[in-house]
């Protein structure tokens, strides 16, 4: 390709330089420069010939006439889409009053249906769509944080060519000869790399492209390993199928290294259904029981009644043993020696429970091998779970080849054009592929994605993707149901939706985004009524009711067990496990400050990753938290600090993916290390023979919790179900000594309603969704790694995590701690300027503009829920939340003031105003706090505690209700419902984890 003159060069050549002005005679002089022709062709492809041809007299006259005619056209507006000037406020639109729209977002490749709140055409908050099967009205941190992603100033803004701003017109021109060539050869030499977007309309487009260019090759980067589930199904049933788990009413749930409550597809629905089983137990019915075997602690393991720490390569043996215990004939292997004792008890208890269960389900983790998936599916089939708690679907989308094939194809020079759609293999391809080197040798590389990321920088062409909140599209959830994506805002930059991009490749023309989507659905959906009515219905509901998933039935092959691969030989040495990061996932969320600063649920680490290691192994290797180690595998190595994680299996190291980005943006660059550098394409999730060596250096870790034991203080109270049945009030304590003074109580206060909160520790799984929801709702600033390490984090609600029991098999417990809104608030009487006071409806209020920042309130708060603006966090250069993302109903706090949970007072007041206008009293449930609304397990109740019939009063009336540190006579308005565990009777005598003393009932 010949040299292209850039606009910068042009400007530079005109700029004054050296010793005085340099005169230029005419623009022709510039036009004579080398590369000008190329620039012209790229910038104005249709006009270039005019420049290059000589113009004759007749031509001049024609152009003048045309110019005269076109001058009149300048008065015409763009006809494409209607833009209504805002001076005429649309019907039903009131400034300051929010409008809500149902849409969907891709969360790690799957659809999460949301209700988006917009103010004056600006999305400010996302909530779960109750009608969407993947969210059921709840939300997760990723979805909440997508809002910040929309306003991310680092998003790609324009098409780029060779790292220079370009246009789609130029791209179309560049594609024209190539598309002709592909049409001729059937796509010979063309390859696509697809990200994990599960969208029916996009898949239809892709299938059309495949039909058009049959010789093209299709590759997929399996970010979270979900391909292995289908391979497992292939081994068992003889054809690849996608399992869809349904935990509703499940009484025995077995997880084989599946983080089913916090990251497996459908996790929000799983968490809701799991919590329903816990809640049933608390209400007196049978309680479900969760067995988890996992290779690194997750919230799922923490929620388990029986958690077993097994290195990732031991899960296979465990699955085989469990299958045998259930009567399946599979080739046996011994259990891994390190955990054999515990594992045997775990398997026995699980098998006993499964045999008696009404509705059991066994779930294998996405990162586990196909064999484990096959075994899990076979056990489900054996237990009769197929078609009930486990259903099967045909795979969505195109069958793609793994990335290593692409690497080989490039090396063999059979690929000369590469089109990457929402994929970033240069960053996340396994290190042994040396992908970025091979990648550079492809002659034509085109990237479509939201950021100019590592891959985009190495591509010739880049087209920015629109954010889901500014796109038209559709997205399929884990269970196959489909929701529409509708834009809440005009695309801020020159992004193209996926459908536009595919149409551009297919037709060589720019198409309008909505038309592409509606055309697809008009053609696809078989509707009895008219299309327009259905379209409106889908947009309103957020779900395409007509696109019900088709489940298929399958039966295991007769010889599946023989076809299981030989179990891996017992390893010696350390196992290196690659785990998805609980907040930045595979790195796609790395530039999101809310997610970077969100503490990982178990380790409480923010801003980066660390080599996770069991306490015993750390003691053997003489490692302490923060020690930097050199981790090497074959000839590749990286350095990372160590973090000791109780409950981690011994002789294994876990390192999370998703950090160490170099082109994520100003937030994500240079945070942590890129674990992908050590990965092997053949064994992407765990691999033996890792070597670890201390470097002698140490690095502070940005942890939000530094002490992990409760020190015998009864902060989190829990009991086995059996104990609870005998003594429902086990969490109660004697009331504090009676005061000589009259004590305030909610009922005695004059105003109504009296607000209060109840948090159910029986259903809280510690997933962090409330933390991000609170951050989004309340404009909580991001402070950065250094500040978190100094203890300056700002989250208004935090999830405390405590360990209990032995370090190698601890029990983990979570406790969300917002402000307690104490009746006798210790913070209030010490403030010298009355900046924090009690409202008549029982809120402990913070008056920002009165606060001078003595911080006495925080000193005197026994719960330490107050947060201080040590610096001007809301205006920090790199990390400040863009103003547009802020909730206009909440003050952005200045430097030097204290802040804390307000019980979402802005929601309370707006509900009161609404009630006042409509002349109706506030009903229970009219005020929903952000944490409550988002909670996947509905563990939070909020409402009027003076009304005995409100949901929160009913929750507080339960015998499990207790308050934190009530001996201080603070009389907190936020109280907790004690947690319950349901250990299996066979393990109840402490041979697995030593916690359960009492016999407990069998499930169901």
Partner 1 sequence: MSEREPLMPDQLTHGWLTQRVSALVLERRPPRSWRVGVVVCALLTLVFVIGLSHLFATGVGIFGLNIPVAWGLPITNTIWWIGIAHAGTLISAVLLLTRQRWRASINRFAEAMAMFAIVCAGLYPVLHLGRPWFWYYLLPYPNDMGLWPQWRSPLVWDFFAIATYLLFTSSFLYLSLLPDLASLRDRASARATRLFYGVLALGWRGDALHWARYERATKTMAAVAAPIVVAVTGIISLDLAVSIVPGFHFTIFPPYFVAGALLSGFATVAILAVVLRWMFALEDLVTRQHLDYLGRMMLIFVVIVNYAYTQEMFAAWYSGEVEYRYVYLDRWTGPYAPAWWGMILCNVGLTQLLWFRRVRRSPLAMLALGITTNLGMWLERFQIVFTSTHADYMPSNWDTVWPTGWDWAIYAGSLGLFGLLLLLFVRLMPMISMHDMRAQIADRGRDG
Among 353, 625, 800, 823, binds partner 1 (CB under 8 A): 800
Q: Least separation, in Å, of the C-beta of 950 and partner 1?
A: 28
Using the structure block, give the residue that is written with the tokens 């920042």: 853
CA distances to 31, 543, 549 from 534, in Å: 56, 11, 18
- Stretch in the footprint of partner 1 (CB under 8 A) among 49-57, 435-443, 856-864, 924-932: 856-864
| Rounded Cα gap, residues 883 and 122, in angstroms | 11
226-265 residues near partner 1, rule: CB under 8 A: none
Quick one: 79 or 712, whose CB is closer to partner 1? 712
Quick one: 241 or 780, whose CB is closer to partner 1? 780
According to DSSP, the β-strands at 652-656 and 574-579 are: parallel
How many CB atoms are located within 10 Å of the residue 25 CB? Answer: 6
Q: Least separation, in Å, of the C-beta of 975 and partner 1?
A: 16
- Stretch in the footprint of partner 1 (CB under 8 A) among 329-337, 700-708, 723-731, 762-770: 700-708
- Asked if 566 interacts with partner 1 (CB under 8 A), we say no
- Asked if 807 interacts with partner 1 (CB under 8 A), we say no
- Asked if 830 interacts with partner 1 (CB under 8 A), we say yes
Q: Least separation, in Å, of the C-beta of 851 and partner 1?
A: 7
Residue 94 · residue 181 · CB < 8 Å: no
- Stretch in the footprint of partner 1 (CB under 8 A) among 123-131, 286-294, 474-482, 786-794: 786-794
The interface mask with partner 1, positions 936-975, x = CB under 8 A, is ----------------------------xx--x-------
- Stretch in the footprint of partner 1 (CB under 8 A) among 231-239, 269-277, 723-731, 846-854: 846-854
Q: Least separation, in Å, of the C-beta of 146 and partner 1?
A: 29
Quick one: 199 or 779, whose CB is closer to partner 1? 779
Torsion, CA 429, CA 435, CA 439, CA 445, rounded to 10: 0
What sign does the CA torsion over 121, 123, 124, 126 have? positive
Q: Please name the residues in contact with 505: beta carbons below 8 A apart, sequence gap of 6 or more.
A: 175, 179, 209, 419
The interface mask with partner 1, positions 410-429, x = CB under 8 A, is --------------------
By CB under 8 A, the count of residues binding partner 1 is 55
How many CB atoms are located within 10 Å of the residue 477 CB? Answer: 26
- Stretch in the footprint of partner 1 (CB under 8 A) among 196-204, 487-495, 644-652, 787-795: 787-795
- Asked if 99 interacts with partner 1 (CB under 8 A), we say no
Q: Please name the residues in contact with 228: beta carbons below 8 A apart, sequence gap of 6 or more.
A: 222, 366, 367, 368, 369, 370, 373
Among 132, 581, 680, 798, binds partner 1 (CB under 8 A): 798
- Least Cα distance to 602 among 594, 590, 612 occurs for 612
Structure tokens at 387: 């078609």
- Stretch in the footprint of partner 1 (CB under 8 A) among 191-199, 223-231, 433-441, 791-799: 791-799
Structure tokens at 594: 């809310």
Crossing angle (nearest 10°) for helices 168-185 and 36-43 = 90
- Stretch in the footprint of partner 1 (CB under 8 A) among 172-180, 350-358, 753-761, 852-860: 852-860
- Asked if 713 interacts with partner 1 (CB under 8 A), we say yes
- Asked if 802 interacts with partner 1 (CB under 8 A), we say yes
876-905 residues near partner 1, rule: CB under 8 A: 894-898
Residue 429 · residue 402 · CB < 8 Å: no
- Least Cα distance to 722 among 980, 977, 941 occurs for 980
- Asked if 801 interacts with partner 1 (CB under 8 A), we say yes
| Rounded Cα gap, residues 587 and 584, in angstroms | 5
- Asked if 826 interacts with partner 1 (CB under 8 A), we say yes
What is the spatial order of strands in the sheet that 961-962 belongs to?
A: 940-944, 755-760, 974-977, 961-962
Q: Least separation, in Å, of the C-beta of 863 and partner 1?
A: 6
Among 24, 51, 86, 829, binds partner 1 (CB under 8 A): 829
- Asked if 831 interacts with partner 1 (CB under 8 A), we say yes
Q: Least separation, in Å, of the C-beta of 856 and partner 1?
A: 6
Among 212, 694, 749, 792, binds partner 1 (CB under 8 A): 792
- Asked if 361 interacts with partner 1 (CB under 8 A), we say no
- Stretch in the footprint of partner 1 (CB under 8 A) among 82-90, 415-423, 534-542, 707-715: 707-715
Query: Is residue 489 classed exposed, middle or buried when 0-12, 13-18 and 19+ CB atoms within 10 A define those classes?
Result: middle
- Asked if 717 interacts with partner 1 (CB under 8 A), we say no
The alpha carbon of residue 410 and the mean position of all alpha carbons in its chain are separated, in whole angstroms, by 32
Helix or strand or coil: residue 20?
Answer: coil
According to DSSP, the β-strands at 160-161 and 164-165 are: antiparallel
- Angle, CA of 904, 890 and 911, to the nearest 5°: 50
| Rounded Cα gap, residues 782 and 874, in angstroms | 8
Structure tokens at 403: 């990335």
| Rounded Cα gap, residues 559 and 563, in angstroms | 7
Q: Least separation, in Å, of the C-beta of 826 and partner 1?
A: 5
Structure tokens at 899: 């802040």
Q: Least separation, in Å, of the C-beta of 786 and partner 1?
A: 10
- Asked if 733 interacts with partner 1 (CB under 8 A), we say no
- Asked if 698 interacts with partner 1 (CB under 8 A), we say no
Helix or strand or coil: residue 576?
Answer: strand
Q: Least separation, in Å, of the C-beta of 857 and partner 1?
A: 9
Among 709, 751, 883, 923, binds partner 1 (CB under 8 A): 709
Q: Least separation, in Å, of the C-beta of 976 and partner 1?
A: 13
- Stretch in the footprint of partner 1 (CB under 8 A) among 194-202, 400-408, 710-718, 949-957: 710-718
Quick one: 675 or 788, whose CB is closer to partner 1? 788
Residue 141 · residue 596 · CB < 8 Å: no
Quick one: 830 or 915, whose CB is closer to partner 1? 830
- Asked if 715 interacts with partner 1 (CB under 8 A), we say yes
Q: Which residues pair with 100 in a beta bridge?
A: 117
Q: Least separation, in Å, of the C-beta of 787 and partner 1?
A: 8
Instruction: Annotate 245-280 with b (16+ C-beta within 10 A) or e (fewer).
Output: bbbeebbbbbbbbbbbbbbbbbbbbbbbbbbbbbbe
Structure tokens at 426: 């240069």
Binding interface with partner 1 (CB under 8 A): 705-713, 715, 787, 790-792, 798, 800-802, 815, 817, 826, 829-834, 850-856, 858-860, 862-864, 866-872, 894-898, 964-965, 968
């Amino acid at each position: 390709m010949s040299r292209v003159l850039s606009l910068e060069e042009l400007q530079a050549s005109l700029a004054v330089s050296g010793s005085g002005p340099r005169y230029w005679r005419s623009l022709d002089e510039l036009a004579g420069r080398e590369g000008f022709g190329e620039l012209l062709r790229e910038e104005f492809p249709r006009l270039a010939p005019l420049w290059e041809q000589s113009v004759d007299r007749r031509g001049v006259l024609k152009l003048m006439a045309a110019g005269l005619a076109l001058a009149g056209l300048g008065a015409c507006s763009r006809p494409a889409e209607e833009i209504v000037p805002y001076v005429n406020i649309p019907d039903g639109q009131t400034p300051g009053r929010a409008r809500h729209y149902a849409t969907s977002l891709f969360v790690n490749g799957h659809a999460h249906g949301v209700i988006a709140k917009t103010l004056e055409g600006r999305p400010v908050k996302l909530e779960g769509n109750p009608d969407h099967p993947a969210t059921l009205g709840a939300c997760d941190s990723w979805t909440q944080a997508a809002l910040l992603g929309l306003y991310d100033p680092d998003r790609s803004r324009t098409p780029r060519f060779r790292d220079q701003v370009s246009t789609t017109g130029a791209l179309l021109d560049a594609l024209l000869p190539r598309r002709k060539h592909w049409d001729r050869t059937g796509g010979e030499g063309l390859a696509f790399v697809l990200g994990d977007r599960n969208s029916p309309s996009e898949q239809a487009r892709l299938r059309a492209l495949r039909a058009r260019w049959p010789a093209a090759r299709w590759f997929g980067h399996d970010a979270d390993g979900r391909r292995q589930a289908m391979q497992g199904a292939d081994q068992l049933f003889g054809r690849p199928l996608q399992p869809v788990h349904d935990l509703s009413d499940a009484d025995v749930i077995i997880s084989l290294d599946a983080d089913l409550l916090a990251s497996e597809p459908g996790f929000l629905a799983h968490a809701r259904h799991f919590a329903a089983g816990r809640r049933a137990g608390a209400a007196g019915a049978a309680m479900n029981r969760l067995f988890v075997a996992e290779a690194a602690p997750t919230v799922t393991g923490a929620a388990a009644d029986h958690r077993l720490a097994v290195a990732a390569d031991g899960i296979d043996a465990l699955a085989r043993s469990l299958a045998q215990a259930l009567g399946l004939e599979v080739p046996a292997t011994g259990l891994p020696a390190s955990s054999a004792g515990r594992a045997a008890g775990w398997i026995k208890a699980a098998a006993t429970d499964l045999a008696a269960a009404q509705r059991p389900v066994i779930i294998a983790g996405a990162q586990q091998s196909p064999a484990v998936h096959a075994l899990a599916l076979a056990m489900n089939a054996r237990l009769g779970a197929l078609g009930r708690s486990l259903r099967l679907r045909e795979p969505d989308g195109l069958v793609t080849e793994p990335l290593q094939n692409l690497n080989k194809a490039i090396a063999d020079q059979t690929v000369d054009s590469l089109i990457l759609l929402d994929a970033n293999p240069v960053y996340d391809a396994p290190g042994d592929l040396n992908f970025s080197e091979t990648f550079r040798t492809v002659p034509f590389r085109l990237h479509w994605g939201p950021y100019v990321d590592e891959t985009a920088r190495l591509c010739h062409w880049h087209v920015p993707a629109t954010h889901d909140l500014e796109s038209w599209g559709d997205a399929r959830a884990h269970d196959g149901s489909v929701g529409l994506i509708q834009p809440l805002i005009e695309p801020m930059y020159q992004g193209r939706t996926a459908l536009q991009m595919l149409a551009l490749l297919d037709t060589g023309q720019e198409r309008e985004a909505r038309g592409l989507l509606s055309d697809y659905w008009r053609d696809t959906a078989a509707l009895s009524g008219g299309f327009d009515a259905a379209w409106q219905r889908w947009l309103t509901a957020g779900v395409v009711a007509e696109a019900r998933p088709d489940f298929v039935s399958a039966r295991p092959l007769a010889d599946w067990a023989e076809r299981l691969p030989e179990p891996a030989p017992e390893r010696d040495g350390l196992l290196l496990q690659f785990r998805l990061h609980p907040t930045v996932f595979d790195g796609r969320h790395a530039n999101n400050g809310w997610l970077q600063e969100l503490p990982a649920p178990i380790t409480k680490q923010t801003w980066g990753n660390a080599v996770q290691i069991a306490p015993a192994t750390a003691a053997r290797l003489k490692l302490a938290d923060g020690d930097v180690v050199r981790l090497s595998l074959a000839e590749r190595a990286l350095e990372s600090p160590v973090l000791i994680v109780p409950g981690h299996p011994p002789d294994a190291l876990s390192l999370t993916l998703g950090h160490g980005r170099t082109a994520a943006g100003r937030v994500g660059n240079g945070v942590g290390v890129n674990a992908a550098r050590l990965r092997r394409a053949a064994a992407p999730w765990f691999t033996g023979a890792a070597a670890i060596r201390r470097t002698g250096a140490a690095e502070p870790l940005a942890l939000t919790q530094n002490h992990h034991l409760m020190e015998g203080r009864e902060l989190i109270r829990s009991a086995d179900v059996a104990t609870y049945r005998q003594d429902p009030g086990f969490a109660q304590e004697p009331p504090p000594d009676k005061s000589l003074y009259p004590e305030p109580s909610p009922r005695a206060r004059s105003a109504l309603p009296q607000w209060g909160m109840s948090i159910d520790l029986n259903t809280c799984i510690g997933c962090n969704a409330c933390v991000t929801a609170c951050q989004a709702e309340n404009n909580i600033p991001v402070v950065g790694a250094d500040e978190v390490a100094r203890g300056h984090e700002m989250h208004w609600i935090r999830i405390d995590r405590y360990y209990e029991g032995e370090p190698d098999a601890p029990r983990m417990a979570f406790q969300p701690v917002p402000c307690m809104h104490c009746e006798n608030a210790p913070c209030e009487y010490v403030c010298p300027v009355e900046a924090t006071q009690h409202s008549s409806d029982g809120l402990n209020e913070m008056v920002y503009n009165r606060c001078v920042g003595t911080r006495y309130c925080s000193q005197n708060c026994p719960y330490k829920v107050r947060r201080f603006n040590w610096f001007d966090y809301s205006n920090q250069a790199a990390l400040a939340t863009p103003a547009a993302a802020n909730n206009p109903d909440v003050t952005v706090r200045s430097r030097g003031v204290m802040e804390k949970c307000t019980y979402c007072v802005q929601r309370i007041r707006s509900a009161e105003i609404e009630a006042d206008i409509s002349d109706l009293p506030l009903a229970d449930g009219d005020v929903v706090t952000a944490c409550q609304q988002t909670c996947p397990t509905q563990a939070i109740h909020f409402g009027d505690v003076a009304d005995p019939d409100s949901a929160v009063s009913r929750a507080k009336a339960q015998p499990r209700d207790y308050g934190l540190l009530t001996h201080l006579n603070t009389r907190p308005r936020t109280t907790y419902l004690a947690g319950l565990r349901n250990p299996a009777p066979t393990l109840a005598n402490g041979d697995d984890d030593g916690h359960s003393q009492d016999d407990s009932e069998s499930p169901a």
